[in-house]
Structure 1
């Protein structure tokens, strides 16, 4: 416990030193996001609740916290919020189809021993749970990319107010191209970092490459990373177009 307190204190000090008041708000936002996720998980245990709807509501709240609470309400956060919600809605349709087709819901055979003492008749649709898990895993990356594009686009527009919508859109795409590779690689390495023990376990069990790839646990996590990558790729043109259209319209009304 003392280690957690020390690390949390160090993180808070560094975030305040680097980010000032915005850094302090970012630190508080971590706990707010945790609270939203915790309450969402508690509500999911109710068989009458729809996990997907709960997840979408949680994503909207998390987006508001990460965008409006940290960066306040302005042009860049409004367009980033709209872009994130649209991208999540589009991605949701794809995720539902993939989850039902690939049948990645539930537990893998490697987990049978751990769950054997529990009752499996809990009345929860694990297809919806799997869909919710993937959505939750993608929303953070989508919000991050959205604000990373809308913020420099707003700065470029304020410094060059005569810029056209097409030029501003192209500027946003160029930014997206620069961060697309690093963002997808971050998701990829996060997967292998968090599941390194699982991969070592597969090696100890003498799994072949085919058995690893077809393992439900591995497939579910890899599909999550791929869906997050698709969300990152989608939000780039969406955020660029929405921001360019929004800023140009504001200029035309002035």
Structure 2
């Protein structure tokens, strides 16, 4: 039996054992997200609509991760609205960063590998770089937002008389605890995913200044920093929106 199939069966068994019905939905969501990502990559060849296609894909992924897995509740609504608001803010930031950093495309270290291919592919690499950052950010943003909204919902459920300020402060406190692990996760994901690149750059005997200014390295660092910025911004936005929705529901 294929190793991939065995690992998928083990994963499904563990997710069902831990999460029961929600675990099954989470397992199905993995394949739905993969299908959306695969279709998005194919559609990115339409150079004039790369950003729009990416935003639609991110919205669909958010809908699956929040509403399909966790159902439609106050906490998932708050997490979804917070995700959309954060995407809107970071879209402007990513556009400015990519435009002025000029890190899109391939670095000089990759010229030899690309020598056999045609470079006349008619794709706007600036928009592709923006799409990569947005897609890389959506997972961390939705994960952080639902964690904060769910925790705040539990606090409000056990203390329905809690004030608006106290509930918001609870959300910020929860977000502060999550922030440390989230940023570390992003850092080690970068190190693990680009370990071969780091070893390669070391063998080239680059100085620190040369390393920082290489396109292949700086583009990945900028991407990680933008994702980290999204993981930070989502905390106060989710805390604020969750507080408004929960308190508004009580008033009604």
TM-score (normalizing by structure 1) = 0.97
Aligned residues: 252
1:97-246, aligned counterparts within 5 Å?
Answer: 97-246=96-245
Superposed CA offset, 1:166-192 (max 9, x none)? 111000000001111110010001000
Structure 2 SS opposite 1:52: helix
The equivalent of 1:96 in structure 2 is 95
SS at match of 1:138: helix
Give the stretch that moved more between structures: 9-18 or 57-66: 9-18
1:178-214 residue CA offsets vs partner (Å, 9 max, x unmatched): 1111100100010001000111111111122222211
Equivalent residue number for residue 69 of structure 1? 68
User: Following TM superposition, by how much is the alpha carbon of 1:155 offset from its aligned partner in structure 2, in angstroms?
Assistant: 1.1
CA distance in 2, matches of 1:6, 1:208: 45
Shift of 1:239: 0.2
Runs of 4+ in 1 over 2 A off after TM superposition: none
Deviation at 1:46, TM superposition (A): 2.6
- Residue of structure 2 in register with 1:7 after alignment: 7
The reply on whether 1:87 has 2:86 as its aligned counterpart is: yes
Deviates more, 1:215-224 or 1:38-47: 38-47
Deviates more, 1:12-21 or 1:61-70: 12-21
Q: Is the partner of 1:148 in helix, strand or coil?
A: helix
Query: Aligned with 1:82: secondary structure?
Result: helix
Confirm whether residue 20 of structure 1 aligns to residue 28 of structure 2: no
Whole-Å Cα distance in 1 between the matches of residues 46 and 97 of structure 2? 25
5+ residue gaps, structure 2 = none
Cα offsets for 1:54-112 (capped at 9, x unmatched): 11000000000000010011111110000011001101100000000000110011111
Q: Bigger CA drift: 50-59 or 201-210?
A: 201-210
Q: Which has the higher mean CA deviation after the structures are superposed, 122-131 or 235-244?
A: 122-131
Structure 1 unaligned segments of length 5 or more: list them.
Answer: none
Distance 2:113 2:49 in 1: 26
> How far apart, CA to CA, are the structure 2 residues paired with 1:250 and 1:42?
43
Q: Secondary structure at the match of 2:20?
A: helix
Measure the CA separation in 2 of the matches of 1:162 and 1:192.
45
CA distance, structure 1, for counterparts of residue 80 and residue 207 of structure 2: 44
Give the deviation of 1:223 after TM superposition. 0.6
What TM-score, normalized by structure 2, do the two folds share? 0.98
Aligned mates of 1:127, 1:50 — CA distance in 2:
12
Between 1:83-92 and 1:117-126, the stretch displaced more is 117-126
CA distance in 2, matches of 1:32, 1:208: 44
